[in-house]
Structure formats: C-alpha cells, structure tokens
Amino acid sequence: MQKQANRWCSASRLTLVLIPLSAMAGCGTYEPEWLSSEHAKKEWRAYLGDQACSHYSALDQINKKNVKQLEVAWNYHTGDLPSEYRGEMQCNPIIVNGMLYGSSPMTKIFALDAGTGEEIWKFDPFADNPENAQTQGRHRGVTYWQDDEGKDKRILFTAGAHLFAVEAMTGKLIMAFGGSGKIRLDKGLDRELGGDGGWDLFVSATTPGVVYKDLLILGTRVSEGPISAPGHIRAFDVRSGAVKWIFHTIPHPGEYGYETWPPDAWKNAGGANCWSGMSVDHKRGLVFIPTGSAAYDFYGGNRKGQNLFANCLLALKAETGERVWHYQTVHHDLWDRDLPAPPNLVTLERDGKKIDAVAQITKSGFVFVFNRETGEPLFPIEEKPYPASDLPGEETWPTQPLPLKPPPFARQIFTEEDVTNITPEAREAALARLRQVRSAGQFVPPSKEGSMIFPGFDGGAEWGGAGFDPNTGILYVNANEMPWILTMIDIELAQSENPYDQGKVVYALNCASCHGGQMEGDQQKIYPALTKLKGRKSNDEVLQLIVKGKGSMPSNDFLSAEEKHNLLAFLFEEKDAKPLNPHSRQSRPLEAPIVPFVSTGYHRFLDHESYPVVRPPWGTLNAIDLNRGEIVWQVPLGEFEELTKKGMPPTGTENYGGPVVTAGGLIFIGASKDEKFRAFDKSTGEVLWETRLPAGGYATPSTYEYQGKQFVVIAAGGGKMGTKSGDAYVAFALPEPR
C-alpha cells in the first residue's frame, strides 16, 4: 500500500485516516448502463436492490390504498430441501431482463421467468460431488454482470470454497473463468493455509460480491475459532477469475495498522473478514466494506492491540484496493460485534445542503453516519471508557466509540426492572439467574461468572440490513431485543498422552462454542447435542462431518490427523483409546495460538417456556430520520399468537432478514418468527397487510416490474429459531382487473 497523508478525527482516536481526494483514482462518473438505466430501476439488479444497498424501489403500483388486495401470483419450489438438517434459504433474489435469479437450500442456482415463476435453468455446483452439497449452510444471493455491449452476461456466485461463473441465459459454466468455471476461495490469500495432507482452513462466502467495472469485489466467511483464515478482501477479474488486488484486513509488515497487532499476527491471526456484503459508489470509485471481529471472538490475549482492520467500515478505491479512510466501531472486539450488514449509501440534508453519506448499522443497535468522501462523522461520537477484563492475559481496549445521535434503536442495558412479568415463576427464575451474571450494558468484558450481551449476539441489527428512502432521508431497520449470556471457561490442558484427555482440549477449542461446553447442543437445535453418540453415529460418519462440515457447521479439516483421532476418542467416550502412531502425524503450517479460555456457547436468556426473559418488545421495526438523527417511530415486528390470545399486545419476535421500501408508501418485510409476511405504512409503522408464508421468510424480499405489473417476492426458507424449513419462493401481485 502506498504512503498516505494522515488526518485524525478527534471523535475516535486511532481510527480515522484520510488521503486527499485529489489523490484518488477512478473518481469519474462511470456507472454501467445496465445498473443505472430507467429500465434497470424497475427491476432488482443487485443484492439488496442496488449497489448502494438502499433496499428501495421507485415502483408504486402497489401502494397503501390497494396493498390489502395482494394475492399469490406464483410459487416456485426448489425441490431440494434437505431432510437431515434444518435448511436456511436466505436468498435475496435479483431480477434482470425479466429473469429472476436465486439459490436453493442446497445452493443450486436457478433462473425463473419473473412473471410466472417457471424454471428456465438450474445449475448444481455439486453435481460431480453431491456429498459436498451437504456442507452448505446459508446463501444469500448471486451477482449479475454484463459487458458494455450486452453480449457477455454472467451470474457469479459462491458455493462451498469456490467462486463460480455461469452464463446468465443458460446456466452453463464459463470454462475460461478460472480455467474450469470456478476458482478456489481458500487460495490466493497471501498466506499458506493448507498442507500436503490435503486439508485447508475454512474459507467460503455467504453474501454475494459487488461489481465495479470488470471487477467482482468479494469478502469471505471464515472460522471464528482460535484457528482461522484471514479475512482479506479481494477483487477478481470477472472474465478470467484472476485476483486483481487484495487488501489485507490483518496488515502485513510496513502496512498501515500493522502496529495494532502483535508482530507475527499477519502470519497466524484470523478473522477481520467481510461476510455481510458491501456497497459501491461508482461515481467516486469507492467500495465500502464492513468487517467483523478478529478470531478468536471472545478472547484476545494472543492478539493484544486495537486490531485494525477488524470491526471497521473501510472505504477503498474500487479500482486498486487502496485505503481511502476507515472507522473502527469496536476496538479489540471480545463480543463478536461484527458489522452485520452492508452500509447504506445515502444523501442527507444539512443546513440546506446535500451531503453524500454512508450509514452503517450495528449489532449493538447504533447507526454510524459518515461523510462518504472524507469519513468525517456527521453526528458526534464519544469514546466512552469501559472496565478492564479480569481474565488473565486479556487486555481490553480502554474505550469504545458510541454515537450520540441517532439514539440507539435497541435497548442498551438489561436490569432487574427489565425482567419479564409474563408469569411470576418466569420472573423469579430470571431474576435469580440475572443476579449471578454481570449486566452493566455494552462492552462488559467476558467473564467466568457470565456477562450479559444485550442486544444479543445476533443484534440489534442483523444481516438483513436496513432500507433507505431517498425522498425523506429515513432509514428503516428491524432489530432484535434478545438478551444472551456469554460465559468463559478455562481450557484444562491435558498433561497426559491419553487421546480422550487430549480430545477434550480439541473439543473445547473448536466445538464447544456451538455444541456447548457439555456437548448439550444449542437451544434452537441448529447445532445438535453430541452426547451419547455411540449407537447413533459411527466413527467414520462423525469423521466425515469433521472433515467436510454440514449445514451451518464449517469444515474442521485443518485439524491434524492426531487431533481428529483424539477428538473422536472424546466424542465417543473412548477413555482407553490408543494414541495415534506418531509417525503418521501431519504437521501444521502454523501453530495454533494459545487461548486459555473459551466460551460455553451461544446461549439466549430464555424462560422455561422459551420466551425471552426481557420485557417486550422482543423484535422491532424502526424508522430513523438521518437528517436530524432522530427516531421517528418504533413498532413491534411479529407476535406470538398464543400470547396475543391471552390479551397481551403484540410482543414482536426475534427476526432475520431485512425490509424493502417503496415509493408506494410501503415497507415489505418477513423476518419474524411467526412466519408472516407484512406490509407496513412507512409513515406510521401501521401494519396494512399480512399473510402467512409456507415457512419463515428469513430473507430480504425483492420487488420489480414485469410487463407493466409490480411483483413482490420472498424466499420462504425458514429453519431459524427452531421453526420448520422450506424451499419456496412466493411472489405476490395485485389481481388482474375484472
């Protein structure tokens, strides 16, 4: 990276660095016609609507007056709903030239007639190796690109550890891309991740990349455990698949931010990745990239420092990957406070002037708003002091940045006054547990006693993102108000050579955060219990799961042969297992960092009937005026019908998937645990229409015009929060005139 002139922002020390705009490359007015034409604006040609991630449509055929007349226009079933694990189809489909492109629970990519839902083609990236299809988890969409003449049209998407390119009209592999139609995502990261033994660190991608000219800019999903790949950002040539540039989110020696990590972190630290998506300002040639936490999520004694560029909003030159500015929203993250969604590119009014800005929502329930060109905060940000950790070896950062405006859209502290009163029994049990843990608001360090995470690990805001109305300057974001408890435990390093004892350590480091400290599984049965495996699974079956992953579980093939052997001994309670032959051990290209503490897993704070123990609302939809930095309205999103029937007002529910905002005065959103799809009045938050989906709509919907008719479509994939899975795309439209 070239040397850059620095200017510091007093609102957040050591976080904001700028270069003069005169030094920026690619600041012309280029924007491809296929993205910016009037016809394109009637479709949904990019993930979340456009490359500003606005979630906005100028269509108004469906409006507040007639939305109650909506009816199902067509259904499409993918036909590959997995039976062995809970599927989570979270795709926000794109619509280009009358064709709808989406993905199935097993990451098959398809094209439909957008007017009828009739299948045109389907591509199975795992046709040659169907066993690997079982490793797929969440997949949120695809990317469209075409050349200036419109002759070369491509769909680019990820599946497993690969990036694919297929012809948009036929679904056939483009063999010139990567030499075989695909490239490996775990290669070309400027770090050797694999070994001769045939195993690699987990690298995949959940969210589609963004297009700038002939580049596909892409982030990745990596493991969040102690051993993890780096989350570097790459730009690929859309024609050849060649890597054109790479930005090191864990800086190498000589690069800006290198001193915010231990000296060798660039060799062995992981995470700091962008899994949630990006936005692009074509006029300025900038790509805006939100990053997640460094690995391991909950202990950073081995990565002391501020840890740039983890938890940052990055502004890079889209042409070259050079840093223009950045802002770090969490220093030395210990709470898994990834930036969960792409930033919204917005235009605001200040003192009668228009300012192009970028707004970033967070899991903690805040909106950070910056000048798009300079990175200057448009509202004051306070660096607030927080207590130090009492875990040996940990060095928390002394302050964390909190915006003073807009106010948080989710509650920030869970006190005894906030405890549920659904029943006296639930309240007393919750109070007793609350008094055992630390609950003092944001950024209370992880502890062995337990620390309250509120809003929870999934937000606040989550990956569904926020919608922005360019006509009013109002941002619409759905949020969770779910308390979770984070508890740390010591890793008891086994001194014996007994495989069972050694396997217990391997489990604690790599498996406990999902499957629980006692192998009890998670509360919503996404990660199953691993107790009493004998009789349920064979050693070979479990070994294949460790190697390949399955559903939401990533591959753990980076474990050495000895570690896999020992882990199996622990899982199958083989306390007399023999050590693996030392001569058959594999060597690892990097040593695992020393992490003396791990979490017991992701635990929602629920009562005996599985309701949140905090007073409602448990899920909300919020309207935030970004011009003034004020919340306009907040309403519950979703309900538990059994509680409503008892006379309780709608409580809202935990929710996943974002909104769509339209010129017709509406907000369309699924997301809620009650599996309903709703239309809200965007001015007031009033529910104007709702319908039940065949499974939960835990995905952001899309809206488009086809032959003069407006449609709204959502993927009903379900699977989250313990609800049933589905494989349907459901499209709604107004009835034909009679």
Residue 610 to residues 40, 328, 430, 604, 606: CA-CA distances in angstroms?
45, 35, 12, 9, 5
Summarised one tens digit per residue, pLDDT across range 110-136 is 999 999 999 999 999 999 887 777 656
Closest C-alpha among 581, 646, 659 to residue 619: 659
**Could you name the CATH architecture of 492-594?**
Orthogonal Bundle (1.10)
Averaged pLDDT for residues 222-235: 93
Say if residue 486 is exposed, middle or buried (CB neighbours under 10 Å; 0-12, 13-18, 19+): buried
Sign of the four-CA dihedral 255, 381, 361, 441: positive
Domain spans, the chain: 492-594
Global pTM reads 0.90
- Give the position of tokens 């992981």: 270
Q: Does pLDDT of 475 surpass 50? A: yes
Angle made by CA atoms 479, 483, 484, in degrees to the nearest 5: 115
Placement of tokens 């495996």 in the chain: 533
Residue 24 reports pLDDT greater than 50: no
| The pLDDT value given to residue 5 | 32
pLDDT tens figures, 415-439: 999 999 888 988 999 999 999 999 9
Cα dist from 150 to 175, 217, 242, whole Å:
19, 21, 22
Mean pLDDT of 281-308: 97
Give the dihedral sign, CA 232/235/237/243: negative
Q: What is the pLDDT of residues 434-472, one digit of tens each?
A: 999 999 999 999 999 999 999 999 999 999 999 999 999
Please report the pLDDT score of residue 136 as a whole number.
60
For residue 12, pLDDT beyond 50: no
Peptide bond into 406 cis (omega under 30): yes
Q: What is the pLDDT of residue 193?
A: 58
The proportion of the chain whose per-residue pLDDT surpasses 70, expressed as a percent, equals 91
Give 393: exposed, middle or buried? Use CB within 10 Å, 0-12, 13-18, 19+.
Answer: middle
* 714-726 mean pLDDT: 94
Taking the CA atoms of 475, 652, 704 and 219 in sequence, report the sign of the dihedral they define. positive
- Residue pair 76/82 in contact (Cβ under 8 Å)? The answer is no
Structure tokens at 178: 């990567």
Beta bridge partners of 702: 713
Give CA 710 to chain center in angstroms: 29
Cis omega (within 30 of 0) for bond into 309? yes
d(CA 232, CA 200): 16
Q: Is residue 517 a contact partner of residue 600, using CB atoms and an 8 Å limit? A: yes
- What's the CA gap between 177 and 40, in Å, rounded? 26
Query: What is the CB neighbour count within 10 angstroms for residue 1?
Result: 15
Dump pLDDT digits (tens) for 320-329. 999 999 999 9
Strands (DSSP E) along 395-462, which ranges?
399-403, 451-453
Cα gap 669→678, rounded to integer Å: 6
381 has pLDDT over 50 = yes
Lowest-pLDDT range of 238-252, 577-591, 624-638, 645-659: 577-591
> Alpha-carbon distance 181 to 239, whole Å?
10
C-alpha dihedral over 528, 533, 536, 540, to 10 degrees?
100
Name the β-bridge partners of 349.
354
Q: How far apart are CA 470 and CA 460, in angstroms?
A: 23
Q: Which helix (H) or strand (E) holds 680?
A: strand 676-681
Q: Give the whole-angstrom CA distance, residue 240 versus residue 183.
A: 10
Per the omega criterion (within 30 degrees of 0), is the bond before 177 cis? no
d(CA 362, CA 335): 13
* 495 vs 455, higher pLDDT: 455
Q: Cα separation of 255 and 710, whole Å?
A: 49
Q: Both tokens of residue 164?
A: 């694919």
Q: Residues 94, 104: contact at Cβ < 8 Å?
A: no
pLDDT for residue 573: 85
